Each structure stands twice: as structure tokens, then as C-alpha cells.
Amino acid sequence: MLRIYDTRARQVEEIAAGRALRMYTCGPTVYRYAHVGNLRTYVLSDLIRRVLELRRVRVLVCQNITDVGHLVDESDSGSDDKMLLQARLEGRSVWELARFYEDAFVRDTAALNLRPPEHTPRASETIDLMVELIAKLIEQGHAYAVPDGSVYFDVRTFPSYGEISGNRLDALKPAHRIEAVDPRKRFHADWALWKPAEGELSWETPWGRGFPGWHVECSAMSLRFLGSRFEIHTGGIDLRFPHHEDERAQSDSAVGHEVVRHWVHGEHLLFDGRKMAKSTGNVVLLSDVVSEGLDPLAVRLAFLEHRYRQQLNLTWDTLRAADRTLRRWRARVAEWSESISAPMAGDYVKRVEAAFDDDLDTPSALRILRELERDESVPPGAKFEAFLHVDQVLGLDLSTEIGKTPVLPAGAGELLEARARAREAQDWSAADRLRDELAELGVRVSDTPEGQTWS
């Protein structure tokens, strides 16, 4: 069974799944396009799902859509959140903006072969769930309302706060951007569950008109759609604190026990050695990758070349190399499909599946596949079956070229194999001679850092 690193436990733990498993993933804030760094987190969730489904576990996923309640910064004052600010900049209504970027996000995730969640609740459509949860926390003594209509979570009522990130209450200091502790709070680390506001993004509540804080959204939606206990919660490493700490405190306080069994986080993605940010001008969208003539699934493959817990420095060279590998594998799978069917290479498949189960060790899985690709003792039909089986987890659409790739002329396959062996032996004269022989048969061979390709 799948073993994965639990951030709260600080160790790799086995996922005890029966016939079904429930997983929550923090979804996008839909006020702008998701960049490839954002998308890496969702590939992590998709990998967990695919590995479990390969083991015949039914996975139920909830992934929220944040379209209200996300301030520019937790320490900022005022009632405007990112949705309102961006809507004004673009001259749209908030709801036009939200649906536009939500649709763009869905297209990007589809292009990366991410399986759609069973539940995608929008924050703006589940305000009643949040109000109900906040009222319950106040009744239990975990939250308090103040005269201006704000409601805060009383963090000192949750003694185990900090178990995910290590940020314990006795060591927490006020945010550096705040000159003085907010006098409305009982403790400087308390956070807003509800904020007073008027206008387009506001709702009536027992505490006055306003909108929800960011953290309460995920608690309300996960409890509603997955229940009071679920197995996995995923997100980017930057969400450990304060978002996931606050979410855990809210959810566990409301129900009286630990709600999430395993917290799983993906590491940051850099591009050309720098953090992706609009201010640095190095934000790369999936549409930018496509504009460069690369398959969007080259991004997925580039992610798979690194462990999800590794910081990944993506470059255009990395993406181009992934694109070449992707196209080569599709061509090989199409070529192998023309061969006599054979049982898939069981030993290789077992090793790949063991790598998947070992904390999603996708780099090892890909190395094993390359080894299988080069193994001349394995019949082409067996390679075909093995690659397609493993692609159920990789999600690279390796069968898309079947029926599209021209069939090699008689004898060309043997010449290509012989040339590959000559290149490995650095017998360049033999490789050149075999290239000429292939050209006479109408097969053009190109050499790439990933190996030879033909057309």
C-alpha cells in the first residue's frame, strides 16, 4: 500500500485505505491564471489518487474554489479581498472574474490530465456552512464576536496548535507589518473567522453584514463534503502556516477530535532559480508552455522527474527535454503496438509500482521505465503492455500516437536497435553507417540528449 510523508507526524506513514478513501485539496483562488508552480500541487493530489486507484481503492476528492474571503495579506486592514481588487482592475464584476479564471483553471488541469474532483464547492455558494460553523465555535467557547461585527478564533483554546508547522503559540510574534497588536483580539495570534463589509461580496449574519475569513472556508467545506474524519489533506508547503494550522484548529475544535489523518504537502517550484512571482517577471503559465510548441504534458513529466517533496527548479531546457522524452515514448509505444502481444514485463512493473508506493518516488519509476525501454531481452509487445499499464499513474497519454506513427519498413527496426547499441558503445562510425542504411530505407534518424528518434 502507498506510504507517504505526513507533515504533522514528520515521517513516512502507510495510508491505511480500505475500499474507499477521502481526500481534500486546497483549491485555487480564482482571481488570476494559475501558473505552473501552482499546478504542481494539484499534480501531487492526482498522483496520490491514481496510485490508490491502481490498487482498486475508490478515492473521493473535494477541492474547493476560493472566490471570496482572501485578503491581500492576513495582516491587512479593510474589507477588500483579492477578488474585488482584481475585478476593478479588469473592469469586470466579481462573479464574471471568478467564473473566467475558474474556467481557465479547469482547462489547465484537464490539459495536465488531472482527474476532476467529485466535489468542487465554491466559497461564495457555501456561506451558510461557514456561518453555521462559526456559530458552533462561538457556542463552544472557541471563538468570540467583537462590536464591529468581526468574529475571531480564540487560538489559546486549542493547545496542540502548531503541530503541522512547528510554530508554537508561545513562540509566535505579531506579524512584522503590524506596529501594534489589534486591540479587538484577545491574543495577537487569533485570526478572523468573519470580517465586516458592505457591497458585492458581503452577506447578512447574526454578527452583521460581512464576508468570511480565508481559513474557515476549507474547514466548512471539508466537513460538509467529506465528513468529520477523512484520510488525506493536501496542499502546497506554503499552506502549512497559517492556513492549515488554522484550518486544523477550527475543524478539530468544532467536532471534538482529529479530523485529518494525514497532512501531505508539495514543495515549492522555482523557475530559472527564482520563485515564481509577478513582481520578478518570471511567472510561467501553461499557455506559455504551449506557445513554445511544447506539449502541456511535458510539464507533468518534468514534475514527475522530481520527488514531490523536493524543491524543483524548472527551466525551459528541462521542459524541452521532457517534451522530447514524451514524444519518443509515444512513438515507441506506437511502434511496439504493431508487435505480437505478450504478457507485460512483470518484474519491471512490480519495481515501478513499488517506487510509486514508496512515498511517490516517481524519479525511480521513470528510471526503471527507461531501463525497460532499452532492455532488448523484453519483447516489444511486453513493453507495450507495461508502458500502458504504468501510464495509468503517470497520466502522460502514451497511447496517443498509436495508429498515427508510420510503420517502419522491413528491417528498419533491427537497424535502429543496432544503431542504439553502437551509440551506447560510442562506435560512431558504425552509428553513421547505420544512419545511412536507414536513410536508404526512407527512415530519418535524429540524435537527442534523450537518445535517437526517427521519422
> Does the annotation flag 275 for ligand binding?
no
Q: Where are the beta strands (DSSP E) in 250-350?
A: 260-266, 269-271, 274-275, 312-314
Instruction: Note whether 349 and 387 are within 8 A (CB).
Output: no
Q: What is the DSSP string of 102-126?
A: HHHHHHHHHHTTPPPPSB--BGGG-
Burial class (CB in 10 A: 0-12, 13-18, 19+), 108: buried
> Does the annotation flag 278 for ligand binding?
yes
User: How many Cβ atoms are within 10 Å of 107's Cβ, its own excluded?
Assistant: 13
Q: The dihedral of CA 334, 339, 343, 349: what is its sign?
A: negative
Point out which residues pair with 21 in neighbouring strands.
Answer: 59
Q: Residue 183 corresponds to which cell in the numbers above?
A: 486591540
Q: How far is residue 304's CA from residue 361's CA, in Å, rounded to a whole number?
A: 9
Instruction: Note whether 152 and 143 are within 8 A (CB).
Output: yes
* Block residue for cell numbers 562506435: 427
What are the helix (H) ranges across 141-244? Answer: 214-226
Phi, psi dihedral angles at 50 (to 5 degrees): -65, -40
Instruction: Note whether 378 and 345 are within 8 A (CB).
Output: yes
What residues are designated binding site for Zn(2+)? 26, 218, 243, 247
What residues are designated binding site? 26, 218, 243, 247, 278
What residues are designated binding site for ATP? 278
